[in-house]
Amino acid sequence: MTDKPILDVEKLNIRFNTPTGINHVVRDVSFTLGREKLAIVGESGSGKSQTARAILGLTPGMVSAQKLEFNGRSLLGLSNAEWREIRGRRITMVMQDPKYSLNPVMRIGDQLMEAAARTNARSALKSRAMEMLEAVKIRDPERVFRAWPHELSGGMGQRVMIAMMLVTEPELLIADEPTSALDVTVRLQVLAILDDLVKTRNMGLVFISHDLNLVSTFCDRVLVMYAGQIMEELDAKHLQDAKHPYTRGLLACTPSLDHPVEVLPTLQRDPSWMAPVSR
Amino acid sequence: MSNTVSTGWVIALTPPQWRGWLLTNTPHSRWQARAGRAYLGWAAFARSPLSMLGLAILVALVGMAIFAPLITVYSPVVSGDTVADRFLPPGGDHWLGTDAHAWDIWSRIVYGSRTSLLIIFMVAIIAAPVGVAIGTTAGYLGGWVDTALMRLTDAFLALPKLVLALAFAAALGAGMENLILAIAITSWPPYARIARAETLTVRNTDYIAAAQMSGASSFRILLGHIMPMCMPSLIVRVTLDMAGIILTAAGLGFLGLGVPLPQPEWGSMVADGRNDILNQWWVCTYPGIAIFIVSLGFNLVGDGLRDVLDPREQ
Amino acid sequence: MIPGWLRSLGKVLVSIAITMFGLLLVTFVISRMLPADPVLAIVSDHASEEVIAAARVKLGLNHPLPVQFLIYIWQVMQGDLGISLRTNNPILTDLAHVFPATLELATWGIVIGVLLGVPLGVLGAVRKDSWIDNVIRFIGLVGYSMPIFWLGIMGLLIFYAKLDWLPGPGRLDFGYEDMVTPITGIMTIDTLLNNDTEMFWNAVSHLILPAALLGYYSLAYISRMTRSLMLSQLRQEYVLTARVKGVPERRIIWKHAMGNIMVPLLTVIALSYGNLLEGSVLTETVFTWRGIGLYITDSIFGQDLPAVMGGTIVVGFVYILINTLTDVLYRFLDPRAR
């Protein structure tokens, strides 16, 4: 890649002030993202979601970093007005459950047009919205346009979310567990749509998940996080060659049809993983 | 119980040996576990200055009622010289002045606290158990019993409380018992609702099933297992309601439906002083302030309790 | 097949009917069963034998209780609430005469309460835990711990007696009320219809203090509920979505979040309106405002139990109507409930 990376993160730290002291949820996280699909994998509490939110300036915690750049522009210390320029237009995020992430008292069409209004003239709003609905393979876009969120199934709702977040042609999309709330069969459909759209638009994608196997087939690179730190960074193709014991532990935990075992292994946590990782 | 965070002045001031015993993760007896939870709840409650203010008010109220003879000089119902001592302004011997009947206002306010406490206490004692009994029975037995009882509750809930209490008191006549009854009759529905909601959450749990299988009668289960579960929400609601009950009782007293003169009751004192308000403002003003402060106290304590026992916001 | 809307209408009417049944049951018990001799509740102290006997027949005391109850319901449905012992008019006529005054006052109160209470609640939620929030919460707390009748008296004392900024009790200056021909019963409108602008301003000036009082009272409750509702909305995921979309915060609050609290807020407002109507027994007494509240309290002092019960039934009916209508509105406005 000769052009600037979409995301350049160096020693990102996020801290929360709690009554019992300071909670250091993200520690010295560093990575770069180009026009590729990067997965951040970890268990609950590993800090992956907070990292994602920090990229959008939406974490309630205190953010500090040596570098946090989007297309060469620093995201540290931006004003609200500057953030509003970026959010929704150049960086967007798809969240986990459309049941909660869509506004229940606004029609789908209105929510789509609201997103589209950032980059389109008023006269073009409806057509853009319909275009996106078709792009996410919704079969009856006119009906969905007029529908209320509770009338949609999980898969449809998530596709609407994707449409809403891509209508302004952003350069970076963050997907925070986008398929975790969906049935397994619907999951693959949604992933396929996401894959297609990201490729055709030549965007960067940060895919957050707890499912190592899922991201191994879908993403290009994988970052494994534990207790706020990155344990390992590797190509998705070479996941099986992971060296870090945590990653190996995760891989071993998932049951496989091809190699059945008597007893499912459980992860043995090593306290040394909590120690600061020197890079 | 939320807020298991170990901070605050209560925790800081507890001697370390007690603290260890109370905060242990492995209590040796049910008593120890309960004491620990109560301790944490108290610590959480005490962290809010407003809640403590409310508590101080309530403690002062009870103190006033108990130690009334010690903090007043004059009798609240026996007047001095009716001609010379009428309408004395505040200050001097009579701290808050006297009224039209030459009664000392400070005394009447202090003794009036007994009346108020009695009314609140009796209303709570009548309305809460009735409400809980109806609510738990409806929730536990379900079916047509549930529907019938809840229809009854909803019907009562839909009726205007103040006006109905007024009508009751008007028909029954003035007097403390009638006042208490009138307010209690319109106060029980919210408790029935709460009790039923809690019962429904608990009804299908395993431990209730275990109790049923071990042969406990429905009555015993209701009393021993289900009703205790309703306690936290109920306590919060009752405390908050008491603020309103004070206001209702004072309102009815204001309209002449409370305890008859000469017995001191803050609402009727306001009514009494209303006619002479222009020149003798103190007769009317002080009892009203008393009503306000007590109602405020209950609201503050109720809010504090809710934050500790039933937090849905934080 | 019965169309959907008709079926819903039917359900609403049935609901009102059931609750009214409950209300009438309660008032029946109060008026017939509680006084030692029900007859004495509706005749004055020194009535003659014939009058008492006639009253006995009219009350249907010779019938068994359930029958009496049915007769009672039948009478009420026809609008026969009895004759007032004080005014000797049919009670319903008396009530119809005074009801607009109560409506006028309560409506002004709720308008003030909503126009001030909702924005204050939103402000408190958005600036949670700041000094503004604490001030707003404190004002609200004081508001609903306050005995409203006492505050009214204090208001009159300060603004009327001591400062002379505002007029005293009554809907118009003393003695003028009979000079205005009642058309709607709402004084401000009637004075205009009578082409009497001086009286109009007089009526307006008399409205200020009691309406402010009721406004403050309902503002306390409304602002607290608005704040709590708004806080719970601001925690929702869709708000995060809107922020991700770069929607300006003002729009998030007033379009996204507000849309979601509109329905429960309406319930709160209706409840508050009902409370204001109820509380009229106290405020109207303080301000000598000739509405239903004052009518009821005058009846209590005048030992006119039938009038008290009649007033209770009417206030109860309006209260029930308001609550039922909010239920209907709830279902109508929430897209999820359709």
Mean pLDDT, chain C, as a whole number?
86
Q: Is the pLDDT of residue A187 over 70?
A: yes
Identify which has the larger pLDDT, C197 or C98.
C98
Cα nearest neighbour of C247 on chain A: A84
Per-residue pLDDT, A279: 44
Q: DSSP character for C60?
A: T
Over residues A75-82, mean pLDDT: 90
3-state helix/strand/coil string of A109-153: HHHHHHHHCCCCCHHHHHHHHHHHHHHCCCCCHHHHHHCCHHHCC
> Which of A108-117, A135-144, A233-242 is the least confident region?
A233-242
State pLDDT tens for residues C252-297: 999 999 999 988 898 899 989 998 998 888 999 999 998 999 999 9
Q: How far is residue A74's CA from residue A12's CA, in Å, rounded to a whole number?
A: 13
Cα nearest neighbour of C255 on chain A: A106
CA A212, A214, A217, A218 dihedral sign is negative
Helix (H, G, I), strand (E, B), or coil: what is residue A10?
strand
* Percentage, residues of chain C above pLDDT 90: 36
Residue C147: band (very low, low, confident or very high) from pLDDT cuts 50, 70, 90: very high
Per-residue pLDDT, C241: 95
Which strand (E) or helix (H) includes residue A93?
A: strand A91-94
Residues of A contacting chain C (CB within 8 angstroms): 56, 58, 80, 83-89, 92-93, 95, 97, 100-106, 114-115, 118, 148, 150, 161, 164-165
Q: How far is residue A206's CA from residue A221's CA, in Å, rounded to a whole number?
A: 10
Q: How far is B48 from chain A (nearest CA, A)?
A: 14
Burial C279-289 (b: 16+ CB within 10 A, else e): bbbbbbbbbeb
State pLDDT tens for residues C208-236: 999 999 999 999 999 999 999 999 999 99
Q: DSSP secondary structure string, C216-233?
A: HHHHHHHHHHHHHHHHHH
Q: Which residue from C26, C149, C156 is facing B159, i.e. has the nearest CB?
A: C26
Interface contact C238-A104, CB threshold 8 A: yes
Over residues C47-51, mean pLDDT: 74
Asked if A20 reaches chain B (Cβ–Cβ under 8 Å), the answer is yes
Whether A228 and A43 have beta carbons less than 8 Å apart is answered as: no
Per-residue pLDDT, C337: 59
Q: How far is A150 from chain C (nearest CA, A)?
A: 7
Identify which has the larger pLDDT, C46 or A210.
A210
Chain A positions touching C259 (Cβ under 8 A) are 103, 105-106
**Which one of C229, C237, C241 would you mutate to disrupt binding with A, by most A Cβ within 10 Å of its Cβ?**
C241
Chain B from 101 to 160: CB within 8 A of any C CB: 151-152, 154-156, 158-160
Q: Which residue from B160, B247, B292 is facing C316, i.e. has the nearest CB?
A: B160
Over residues C194-217, mean pLDDT: 88
Chain C positions touching B313 (Cβ under 8 A) are 228, 231-232
Per-residue pLDDT, B119: 93
Asked if C36 reaches chain A (Cβ–Cβ under 8 Å), the answer is no
Mean pLDDT, chain B, as a whole number?
84
Q: Is the pLDDT of residue B6 over 60?
A: no
Over residues B205-213, mean pLDDT: 80
Beta strands in chain B, from DSSP E residues, in sequence order: none
Residue A77: band (very low, low, confident or very high) from pLDDT cuts 50, 70, 90: confident
Asked if C237 reaches chain A (Cβ–Cβ under 8 Å), the answer is yes
State pLDDT tens for residues B282-306: 888 999 999 999 999 999 999 888 8
Asked if C24 reaches chain B (Cβ–Cβ under 8 Å), the answer is no
Cis preceding-peptide flag for A104 (omega within 30 of 0): no
Cα nearest neighbour of B274 on chain C: C153
Interface contact A87-C245, CB threshold 8 A: yes
Q: Is the pLDDT of residue B172 over 90?
A: no
Q: How far is A31 from chain C (nearest CA, A)?
A: 22
Residue B3: band (very low, low, confident or very high) from pLDDT cuts 50, 70, 90: very low
Whether B170 and C305 have beta carbons less than 8 Å apart is answered as: yes
Q: How far is CA C291 from CA A11, B170, C102, C185, C294, in A?
A: 72, 19, 5, 10, 6
Residues pairing with A15 in the sheet = A24, A62
Interface contact C246-A102, CB threshold 8 A: no
Chain B from 157 to 186: CB within 8 A of any C CB: 158-164, 166-168, 170-172
Per-residue pLDDT, C252: 94
Residue C122: band (very low, low, confident or very high) from pLDDT cuts 50, 70, 90: very high
Over residues B33-44, mean pLDDT: 83
Per-residue pLDDT, C40: 67
Interface contact C150-B288, CB threshold 8 A: yes
Q: Which residue from C238, C249, C336 is facing A101, i.e. has the nearest CB?
A: C238
Chain A positions touching C336 (Cβ under 8 A) are 104, 148, 150
Q: How far is residue A203's CA from residue C324's CA, in Å, rounded to a whole number?
A: 54
Asked if C22 reaches chain B (Cβ–Cβ under 8 Å), the answer is yes
Interface contact B288-C154, CB threshold 8 A: yes
Task: State the chains in contact with B (3 or more Cβ–Cβ pairs under 8 Å).
Answer: A, C
Q: How far is residue C74's CA from residue A151's CA, in Å, rounded to a whole number?
A: 47
Which strand (E) or helix (H) includes residue C267?
A: helix C258-287
Residue B1: band (very low, low, confident or very high) from pLDDT cuts 50, 70, 90: very low
Q: Which residue from B160, B251, B295 is facing C282, i.e. has the nearest CB?
A: B251
> Which of A29-38, A210-219, A267-276, C230-239 is the least confident region?
A267-276
Q: DSSP secondary structure string, B216-245?
A: --HHHHIIIIIHHHHHHHHHHHHHHHHHHH
Per-residue pLDDT, C160: 87
Per-residue pLDDT, A275: 67
Q: Which residue from B171, B256, B299 is facing C305, i.e. has the nearest CB?
A: B171
**Residues in contact with B306: Cβ distance below 8 Å, sequence separation at least 6, in sequence order:** B236, B240
* Percentage, residues of chain B above pLDDT 90: 24
Over residues C21-39, mean pLDDT: 78
Residues pairing with A16 in the sheet = A23
Q: Which residue from A97, A100, A114 is facing C245, i.e. has the nearest CB?
A: A114
Cα nearest neighbour of A149 on chain C: C336
Report ipTM (2 d.p.): 0.90
Chain C positions touching B288 (Cβ under 8 A) are 147, 150-151, 153-154
Chain A positions touching B7 (Cβ under 8 A) are 19-20
Neighbours of C189 (CB within 10 A): 15
Mean pLDDT, chain A, as a whole number?
88
Asked if C232 reaches chain A (Cβ–Cβ under 8 Å), the answer is no
Residue C21: band (very low, low, confident or very high) from pLDDT cuts 50, 70, 90: confident
Nearest Cα to A18, choosing from B13, B5, B307?
A: B5
Residues pairing with A208 in the sheet = A40, A176
**Residues in contact with C159: Cβ distance below 8 Å, sequence separation at least 6, in sequence order:** C165, C166, C209
Cα nearest neighbour of B294 on chain C: C145
> Which of B2-16, B27-41, C317-331 is the least confident region?
B2-16
State pLDDT tens for residues B73-117: 787 777 666 677 778 888 777 788 888 887 888 888 999 999 999
For residue C199 the two structure tokens come to 């009286």
